[in-house]
């Protein structure tokens, strides 16, 4: 199986002024493409090793699948979580569940912003199928700190390549800008899909 980089679901300049065309171009076309390439390369190595019976390089390739695969999945989710029509608060079943599990949207957002400020990679809102609740998760790199059995609902990339060109070291300003382009329709659909599967 070979993985491909999906196109952005909007034009490269569609999220301006919150995220620049230049950042989206670099981030999607070069950075995200690198994870797709890395995943495909690792899968090829594993297939070759299985065929030859020589597994000397397999452990590194397995780690590469995890790192690059998570990078690809989370970036794809990140692009889908945003749109030019974003900026509103969630509604419907997801909004109700956020209030139930966090006390209020404001409490959830404050905790999510704290996760985004501390992460060396990603802040995620996930549905934890083991505990049947929403959680905020700090994920370093792409796979360190992930919670088994959780399903990402909302993803925010806080690696420096996501914001330094536009905001310099002011990560908090970038997080604020993210909330100006979050389109809750996609996370809401992802949440409902997870709940239907596990509750």
Write out the H or E segment, with its range, that includes residue 17: none
Distance, in Å, from the CA atom of 75 to the CA atom of 89, rounded to the nearest integer, reads: 22
Known binding residue 72? Answer is: no
Q: How far apart are the first and last CA of the chain?
A: 31
Known binding residue 161? Answer is: yes
Known binding residue 28? Answer is: no
Look-up: residue for tokens 């806080």?
158
Q: Which two tokens stand for residue 35?
A: 């994870």
Q: Starting from the edge strand earliest in sequence, which strands make up the sheet with 121-128, in order?
A: 133-140, 121-128, 150-157
Known binding residue 142? Answer is: no
Look-up: residue for tokens 């993210």?
178
The DSSP call for residue 162 is G
Strands annotated E in the chain:
121-128, 133-140, 150-157
Query: Which residues belong to the annotated binding site?
Result: 27, 75, 157, 161
Annotated binding-site positions for Mn(2+): 27, 75, 157, 161
């Amino acid at each position: 199986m070979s993985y491909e980089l999906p196109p952005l679901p909007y034009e490269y300049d569609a999220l301006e002024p919150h995220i620049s065309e230049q950042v989206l171009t670099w981030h999607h076309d070069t950075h995200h493409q690198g994870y797709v390439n890395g995943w495909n390369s690792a899968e090829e190595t594993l297939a070759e090793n299985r065929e030859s019976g020589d597994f000397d390089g397999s452990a590194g390739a397995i780690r590469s699948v995890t790192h690059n695969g998570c990078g690809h999945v989370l970036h794809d989710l990140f692009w889908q979580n945003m749109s030019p029509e974003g900026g509103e608060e969630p509604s419907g079943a997801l909004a109700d569940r956020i209030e139930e599990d966090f006390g209020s949207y404001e409490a959830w957002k404050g905790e999510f912003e704290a996760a985004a400020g501390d992460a060396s990679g990603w802040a995620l809102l996930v549905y934890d199928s083991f505990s049947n609740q929403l959680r905020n998760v700090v994920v370093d790199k792409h796979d360190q700190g992930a919670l088994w059995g959780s399903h990402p609902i909302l993803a925010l990339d806080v690696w420096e390549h996501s914001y330094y060109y536009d905001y310099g070291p002011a990560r908090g300003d970038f997080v604020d800008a993210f909330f100006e382009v979050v389109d809750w329709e996609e996370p809401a659909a992802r949440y409902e899909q997870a709940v239907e599967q596990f509750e």
